[in-house]
Chain A
Amino acid sequence: NAGVMQNPRHLVRRRGQEARLRCSPMKGHSHVYWYRQLPEEGLKFMVYLQKENIIDESGMPKERFSAEFPKEGPSILRIQQVVRGDSAAYFCASSLPAGGTEAFFGQGTRLTVV
């Protein structure tokens, strides 16, 4: 059973471009979470999704950021018109539906905006 797969591992974008980050959850996991880690900081919750539904997006910036988890395929975190401040490591985690179960993290995508 492969773990949580994120791609790409590293992504470089120029200011104003779009960044698309992908996350394939562990097999059987229907809950996906996205976190952002700025340099020298802990991870900050961004969004919690189930298949085709956004459950909690309280940590998402109001503009330029969006996330989806379609019925088929990976979850996508999309950042439009990137700025230097978006440079960070973006981690995806997945879990089973039951409460209190462990969330498994991917290795992250390191976004650099130049």
Chain B
Amino acid sequence: AQSVTQLDSHVSVSEGTPVLLRCNYSSSYSPSLFWYVQHPNKGLQLLLKYTSAATLVKGINGFEAEFKKSETSFHLTKPSAHMSDAAEYFCVVSEGFQKLVFGTGTRLLVSP
């Protein structure tokens, strides 16, 4: 079975500083990996996805993630945090037929 581990439950950054949200995955074959964002009391929005094309994936709102097979990682980064980035972020692996397996989430806090 596939799984993802989000290494930090909370990450705090100052506005304008870099963001790093860590994710490791476990998969028996070439996975599809996603990052979703959830703002309070809202639905989930897809930030970016990796589906075995380029290993560096660029998403919306300046986010990007790099697929590293040797490290089984798919960390999410952004060069400069904005206040509006404060939200819950989920790393997700697709387990066939688009059955998505979610990590437990990382809450990003952005201070002025």
Contacts and interface: CB of A to CB of B under 8 A. Distances in A.
Contacts of A106: 43
Given A100-B51, A102-B49, A45 B100 contact: yes
Chain B contact residues: over half helix, strand or loop, or mixed? strand
Interface string B70-112: 0000000000000000000010001001111111110000000
B56 interface: no
B98 A42 contact: no
Contacts, number: 52
Interface residues of A, number: 25
Contacts of B103: 42
A48 interface: yes
Contact of B44 (A44, A56, A105): A105
B24 interface: no
A102 B46 contact: yes
